[in-house]
A = this chain, B = another copy of it.
Amino acid sequence: MAKKKYRRSRSNSILDRKIGIKPGHLYVPTEAFVPRFFLMSFSEAMFEEQEFETYAQLLKRFKELPDARHWIDIRGYGDLQIQEQLVKDFKIHPLQMEDVINDYQRPKVDEYEDGLFMITRMLRWSEEQHSVEDVQLSVFSNANYVVTLQSDYADCLDPLRERIRAGRGVIRQRPPIYIVYAILDVVLDYYFPVIAEIGKYVDELEHSILKSSSKITLQHILDLKNELVKLRRIAWPERDKLVELLRMEEDVLPENLKVYFRDAYDHTIQLIDLIDSHKEMASSLVDLYMSTVSNRMNEIMKVLTIISSIFIPLSFIAGIYGMNFARENPETGEVYPYSMPELYQPYAYPILISLMLLLILLQLYFFYRKGWFTKSF
């Protein structure tokens, strides 16, 4: 069972949707993984973590612990029955389940069974492709449990799982909404290194342009801009989501936890700030690229002009003395003294060569004064 890769940048999954199917229709996406089932149950007194073979086993164990809080973590959408079970067992609205599977949804938050349904996107920077890969994480939460659903086996939540296992801080005492915050916090934490990577890549591109290395072309810059547009398309709804969360009622989001969500909100604002700055930088790179192209053209033209300006007039002079005006009339033998008399002077040739050298030097000086020998870029 090959490990599915994080999705490539211009994911068309949203564009592949089947048309006219019943809203809330469930289906198995192509290349979906066989689902795996994880359950973390904890209360102030106990902690238990397990992977189950089947969904039924998980559900059974979940029901055996009515007083604990649970994190049900299902990875892979490869089984239609599981989807239908989830809809039934956790009272998920079919439209929401469809959003989960659809696998390209803007980050958003919705009401769900006295709790909330949240879609967030996990990011990763692909060093080779210089692109942002993102994968969707769907979260249902309630007074008793958090259900997370994702298409992939690997995710970025391991540091959080570690924290729960270690029982550090207050994480096991707080209600499941705090887990939702913790998930959001970890996910957003991963956005910053992505932007840091983009910053490094911008510097790299700038350096390449200035070195006018031919390997870097405008296309790389434009691809980067598209990545930033995409990032912005993800970060804005993350912010909107947090605005909506912060407006939620006391019973969904207790007042004493709002400070955490406000902190996450501050992070999304910083994110958008940083993305916008990087977008402006990328736009500047386009200007920079265009100006190097123009400057290189200037360099080429200078070479051409210097060479031509020096040698074309000299060639003309040489051409003059290559003319065959007759010194004397071949028939009458009459001498024409005004016919190219220079040719018959003993020192004419060395004098002419010297004058030509002088002319070359004068022109070089003229071009030097115009600053044409200093590289303009």
Chain A positions near chain B (C-beta within 8 angstroms): 10, 12, 14-17, 19-23, 93, 95, 99, 104-106, 108, 110, 156, 158-160, 162-163, 168-169, 171, 181-182, 185-186, 189-190, 192-193, 195-196, 199, 206, 210, 212, 214, 217-219, 222, 225-226, 229-230, 233, 259-260, 262-263, 266, 269-270, 273-274, 276-277, 280-281, 284, 286-291, 293-298, 300-305, 307-316, 318-331, 334-336, 338-340, 342-350, 352-353, 371-372, 374-377
Contact = CB atoms under 8 A, between A and B. Distances in A.
Given A226-B281, A335-B331, A210 B214 contact: no
Q: Which of A226, A294, A327, A334 has the most chain B CB atoms closer than 10 A to its own CB? A: A294
Contacts of A158: 20
Given A233-B273, A313-B307, A331-B335, A287 B288 contact: no
18 contacts: A17-B192, A22-B168, A105-B270, A222-B284, A226-B281, A229-B280, A290-B294, A297-B298, A301-B304, A304-B308, A307-B308, A311-B316, A312-B315, A319-B319, A336-B349, A338-B350, A339-B346, A339-B349
Contact of A106 (B19, B206, B273): B273
Given A300-B305, A307-B312, A308-B307, A196 B16 contact: yes
Nearest to A233: B273
Contacts of A181: 23
A138 to B, nearest CB: 14
As for how many copies of this chain the complex holds, the number is 5
A321 to B, nearest CB: 4
Given A214-B375, A260-B95, A294-B297, A336 B326 contact: no
A72 to B, nearest CB: 21
Contacts of A345: 336
Nearest to A375: B214
A306 to B, nearest CB: 9
A195 B322 contact: no
Given A212-B371, A315-B316, A322-B319, A330 B327 contact: yes
Nearest to A327: B330
Nearest to A366: B303
A222 B352 CA distance: 51
A22 B186 CA distance: 9
B270 A14 contact: yes
B226 A266 contact: no
Nearest to A161: B20
Given A270-B106, A288-B218, A298-B293, A10 B186 contact: no
